[in-house]
């Protein structure tokens, strides 16, 4: 599996499933490939380096539409995308309308999503100053920007450690209804390794269920293995894991992707000019878990 970022709590469920032997119990061999800022998860699918990748649906579906990539989304880790607007509480930024006249640091990859969120909420993108963001909240803490676009599960911890109070809201909660860490495979893999994919989903779900039962239990176990060398503290990972729990869990089980979620994703992507359709999704594997 190709992950979408460096090793942190975002991928704890897979680490637990590996450490607890859950993949072996399902009869599958599993290799985890860490991601990072220079890694494009979909590329690992195209090269054959990975059978499964965690992606954002906008990049995946854009690759299907523009490049003819034969990808299929079979589930999603995050029911609600952790991406949001993060600011200092003193900024008074609590909703999209509060961004007017402010300077926001936005990663290039999220610029279309940010502008779409503004448009959905009747905020003229021209009324907001956007500057580049390198996934470092230092400019926010030093007052160089008023807010950043980042995971609300992570950056607020850094802000609080600096003695400040954080404020945030999810793009998802204000109308940009895109999930995250969508589980993507090629159609060839879906057709030829379906049983293995179902087994992988089952083992991974069990790993996430274990990790989220008590978000403080597993991060310390990974301190000298999966989290080693990241420069992040165990406390940071516990914060992250606790914050992401309600964004991952679903009454239908981890990785659930309902018909309504599929339609919401299609409708939202249309706002940024990406034409998705239901044929790009296959949730039937989830029915076999």
User: Same fold for the domain at 9-80+178-288 and the one at 83-174?
Assistant: yes
Domain 9-80+178-288 is found in CATH 1.10.10.10? no
pLDDT attached to residue 37: 87
Please list the rounded mean pLDDT of every run of 10 residues in the chain (289 residues): 97 99 98 94 97 96 95 99 98 98 96 94 97 95 98 97 98 97 98 98 99 99 97 98 99 98 97 94 98
Helix (H) or strand (E) holding 17: helix 12-19
d(Cα 3, Cα 35) in Å, to the nearest integer? Answer: 5
Go through the chain and tell me how many residues it has: 289
- Indicate the pTM of the whole model: 0.96
Determine the pLDDT at residue 101. 98
Contact (Cβ atoms closer than 8 angstroms) between residue 156 and residue 52: no
Domain boundaries, the chain: 9-80+178-288, 83-174
Largest Cα span, the chain: 56
Fold of 83-174: D-Maltodextrin-Binding Protein; domain 2 (3.40.190)
Q: Answer left, alpha or beta for residue 22, where phi above 0 means left and psi between -120 and 50 means alpha.
A: alpha
């Amino acid at each position: 599996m190709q992950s979408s970022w460096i090793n942190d709590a975002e991928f704890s469920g897979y680490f637990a499933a590996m450490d607890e032997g859950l993949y072996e119990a399902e009869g599958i061999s599993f290799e985890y490939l860490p991601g990072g800022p220079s890694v494009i998860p979909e590329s690992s699918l195209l090269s054959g380096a990975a059978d499964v990748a965690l992606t954002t649906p906008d990049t995946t579906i854009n690759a299907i539409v523009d490049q003819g990539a034969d990808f299929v989304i079979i589930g999603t880790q995050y029911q609600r995308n952790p991406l949001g607007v993060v600011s200092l509480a003193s900024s008074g930024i609590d909703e999209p309308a509060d961004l007017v006249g402010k300077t926001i640091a936005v990663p290039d990859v999220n610029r279309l999503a940010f502008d779409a969120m503004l448009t959905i909420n009747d905020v003229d993108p021209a009324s907001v100053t956007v500057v580049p963001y390198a996934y470092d909240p230092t400019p926010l803490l030093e007052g160089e920007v008023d807010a950043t676009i980042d995971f609300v599960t992570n950056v607020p911890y850094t802000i609080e450690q600096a003695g400040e109070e954080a404020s945030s809201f999810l793009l998802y909660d204000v109308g940009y209804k895109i999930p995250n860490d969508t589980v993507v495979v090629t159609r060839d893999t879906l057709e030829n390794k379906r049983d293995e994919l179902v087994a992988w989903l089952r083992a991974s779900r069990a790993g996430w269920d274990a990790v989220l039962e008590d978000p403080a239990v597993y991060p310390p176990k990974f301190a000298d293995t999966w989290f080693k060398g990241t420069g992040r503290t165990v406390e940071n990972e516990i914060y992250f894991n606790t914050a992401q729990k309600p964004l991952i869990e679903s009454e239908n089980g981890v990785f659930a992707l309902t018909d309504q979620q599929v339609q919401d994703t299609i409708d939202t992507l249309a706002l940024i000019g990406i034409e998705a359709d239901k044929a790009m999704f296959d949730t039937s594997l989830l029915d076999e878990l």
